[in-house]
Amino acid sequence: MSALDAEPQQIDLREPAGWRRTKSRIMTSLMVLSFVVVIIPLGFVLYTVIAKGASVVGWSFWTSGTIPPNTSPLGLGGIGPAIIGTIEIVALASAMAVPLGVLGAIYINEYGGRGVLARIVRFMADVMTGVPSIVMGLFIFSIWVLHFGTNGFSGLAGAFALGCLMLPIVIRSSEEMLKLVPNALREGSYALGATKARVTVTVVLPAALGGIVSGALLAIARAAGETAPLLFTILGVQSLNWNVFHGATTALPLLIFSNASSPYVGAEGRGWGAALTLIAIAFILMITARLVTARFARYAR
Amino acid sequence: MEDPEQIAVTTSLPKPAALRESRATASDTPGAPVFDTRNVSCYYGSFRAVTDVSLTIHENDITAFIGPSGCGKTTVLRTLNRMNDLVEGARVEGDVEYRGASLYAPGVSPTAVRRRIGMVFQKPNPFPKSIYDNVAYGPRINGERKKDKLDEIVEHSLRQAALWDEVKNRLNKSGLGLSGGQAQRLCIARTLAVEPDVVLMDEPCSALDPIATGKIEDLMREIKSRYTIVIVTHNMQQATRVSDRTAFYSVLRDEENDTRTGVLVEYGRTQQIFEDPHDPRTQAYVTGRVG
C-alpha cells in the first residue's frame, strides 16, 4: 500500500551498483582474458609452423623418399614414406577403434542401463583414458611385437597401440552424445511399434551422429599426432613400406621427432615441413568429416 | 477461493473399495469393448501411482481422462500400450484386457501391442528427419519398402491429419521446421500411418494455442469413426467438446502414512459427468471448485 503513496521515481533496471556490478565486470574480463590466453598459443603454433615449414613443403617434398637426417642440404629428400605410414596406420586404428567404441557407447547408454557390466565398461574406459600413451606402446610391444620377434614391428602393431589410445575417447564422447538424444524421440519410435534395435539404429544414432563423428575425429587427430606409442611398435625406418600388416614402417610424428632432434639445418627444415603436413592432414580430415556430417544432419533443423 | 467445504471434500475421500461401487456405467448402447481394465494398480518402484482402476473403453468412442495433476491418468493411459515398460521400476497389477486378450500376459510382445495401439505425446516429438520420412517411419519399420505404396500412405495419413495442404510442397524438408500445431499433427499422421486400432493421446494440445487445438479437436472428431481414441486432458472444455465418455480421476491421500495414490472416481458419458455427476468430488472438480 505504501508503494502507491511514494513519489514516482526513475526505475533502475541495471545490475545493482556496488560489489555485484564490479563482480560482473571482473568475471566478464576474466572470461575474455582466458579466451585470449587460449588463442595465443594456438595462433603462435600455427604461425611458427607455417613460417618455418611453408618454404619446405611441396609436391616433391611430399612424394620423395626419406633420407637420413644428417644428409644436407635442405631441398633433398622428402617425407613420402611417413605420409603413407601415417595414413595407413591411423586409418587402420580408426577402423578398429571407432566402430568398437561407438558400439560400446551404445551398449552403455541404450542397453546396459545401470547394470554391472555397463558400469564396469564405463569405469574401464575412464581408467584407459588416463593411461599414458607410451604405456600403450609398451603394452603392445610386450604382448604383440615381442611375440613375433624381429618381424613384430609393423603398421598393424602401431595401429593396435593407437587404437587402444582412441577407444576410450570414442566411447566416452559417443556416450555423451547418445545421452543428449531426447527420450521423447525414443518414445515416439517405440510408440510406433519399433524394437529397441530399430529405435537405436533409426532414431538415436542418426540424431547423435554429428556429435559422434566429432568425438571420433578428436580421437583420430589425437592418435595421428602420437609419437610414443609408435616408437615401440613400428620402429621407424627410412624406406617406404606399403604393407601395413608386415614389416617396420614409419610415420610423420616419428619422422618429426628424429629430424627435430638432429642438429642439421636440412633435417630441421624437413621436420618443420613434416609438422606442417601433419597439421594439414588433420585439418583436411576435420573439414571432410564436417561436410559428411552436414549431409547426414540435413534435417537436424 | 479457499472454500472450507471444498477442503472437507478432498480430505474425506472414501477408501478405494467403496469407489468401485460408485462407478457409473454408461447407459447408451456402447460400441464393442476395446479395453477392459480390472483392478489395475500401477507402481513406480514402491510408489503406488494409481490404485484399483476398473473401466471399459468402447470402440469408436473418444474417452477422456480428466483429473488434477498426480492423479495417475497419464499412468493409466501408458499402461494401455505398455509404454510404462520403458520406465525403470514400473509395474502393473491387475488385468488389462485388449479385445479379449490380456496385455500383460507372459509372452505378449510390447512391440506388437504398440503397433496396434499408437500414442501421441504431450510435447510434439517429430524425428529429426524429413516430413516424408517421419510419416513413412512406421510403415518402413513394418517392412513396407515400395516407394509408390509409401507415397500413398504418406499422403493419406497427412490428409487424415489435416496437414497435407500445408506441407505437400515441402515433404523433404525437416519435420523440426514445423510450428507446434503442425508438428503435433505430423505426429498424429505418423501414428495413423501404421493404421493402429487405438490412438492414445497424452495431453496432445497442452503445448498448442487455441487455433491449433481447435484443428486437432476437429481432426479427432473426423477420425473417430475409424479409430478408438483415449485422450488425457487438463482442459475440461476440451473433454466436453470432443469426448463421448469421461473418466474422472482424483488423488487419494492417506494422512497416516503420508502417501498418496490416484484413483478412478467416476466414469460415464461425458454429458452425465459434467451435468449430473454422482460423486461430490467429481462435481467439485467439474464446476471448478477443486483442482
Q: For B151-174, give the DSSP string.
A: HHHHHHHHHHTT-HHHHGGGTTSB
pLDDT in the model for residue A71? 63
Cα–Cα distance, A175 to A168 (Å, whole number): 10
CB neighbours of residue A71 within 10 Å:
13
CA distance B194 to chain A (A): 7
pLDDT in the model for residue B208? 84
CA distance A88 to chain B (A): 35
- Decide if pLDDT at B134 tops 90: yes
Give me the percent of chain A exceeding a pLDDT of 90.
49
Beta bridge partners of B56: B36
Kindly indicate the confidence band of residue B111, based on its pLDDT and cuts at 50, 70 and 90. very high
Chain B contact set for A189 (CB, 8 A):
127, 137
* CA-to-CA separations, B137 to A263, B96, B179, in angstroms, rounded: 64, 28, 20
- Decide if pLDDT at B240 tops 50: yes
* CA-to-CA separations, B97 to A204, B113, B193, in angstroms, rounded: 32, 12, 24
Interface contact A261, partner B, CB < 8 A: no
Residues B162-213 have pLDDT tens digits of: 899 999 999 989 999 899 889 999 999 999 999 999 999 999 998 888 888 9
Interface contact A132, partner B, CB < 8 A: no
CA distance B61 to chain A (A): 21
Look up residue B251 and give its three cell numbers.
488423488
pLDDT in the model for residue B26? 41
Look up residue B194 and give its three cell numbers.
501404421
A207 closest CB neighbour out of B112, B128, B194 = B128
pLDDT in the model for residue B28? 55
pTM over 0.90: no
CA distance B9 to chain A (A): 36
pLDDT in the model for residue A290? 78
Average pLDDT score, chain B: 86
Give the residues of chain A that fall short of pLDDT 50.
1, 301
Residues B24-70 have pLDDT tens digits of: 344 456 788 999 999 999 999 888 899 999 999 999 999 999 999 88
Look up residue B20 and give its three cell numbers.
468401485
Kindly indicate the confidence band of residue B23, based on its pLDDT and cuts at 50, 70 and 90. very low
8 Å CB contact between B205 and B235? yes
Look up residue B4 and give its three cell numbers.
472450507
8 Å CB contact between B97 and B103? yes
The chain A residue lying nearest B114, using CA atoms, is: A193
Average pLDDT over residues B110-137: 93
Kindly indicate the confidence band of residue B5, based on its pLDDT and cuts at 50, 70 and 90. very low
Residues A235-255 have pLDDT tens digits of: 888 888 888 888 888 899 998
Cα–Cα distance, B246 to B266 (Å, whole number): 8
pLDDT in the model for residue A244? 83
Laid out side by side, the sheet with B228-232 consists of: B101-102, B90-98, B33-44, B47-58, B259-269, B245-254, B62-66, B228-232, B198-202, B117-120
- How many helical (H) and strand (E) elements, i.e. helices and strands, does chain B have? 12, 10
pLDDT in the model for residue A69? 67
Residues A170-192 have pLDDT tens digits of: 999 999 999 999 999 999 999 99
Average pLDDT over residues B152-160: 93
B128 closest CB neighbour out of A192, A195, A206 = A206
ipTM here: 0.84
CB neighbours of residue A43 within 10 Å:
11
Task: Map residue B253 onto helix, strand or coil.
Answer: strand
Give the dihedral sign, CA A177/A178/A179/A182. Answer: positive
B176 closest CB neighbour out of A188, A203, A299 = A299
Please report the residues numbered 193 through 232 in chain A whose beta carbons come closer than 8 angstroms to any beta carbon of chain B: 193-195, 198, 202-203, 206-207
Cα–Cα distance, B276 to B31 (Å, whole number): 23
Interface contact B138, partner A, CB < 8 A: yes
pLDDT in the model for residue B57? 94
pLDDT in the model for residue B7? 42
A192 closest CB neighbour out of B86, B130, B141 = B141
Average pLDDT score, chain A: 87
8 Å CB contact between A210 and A271? no
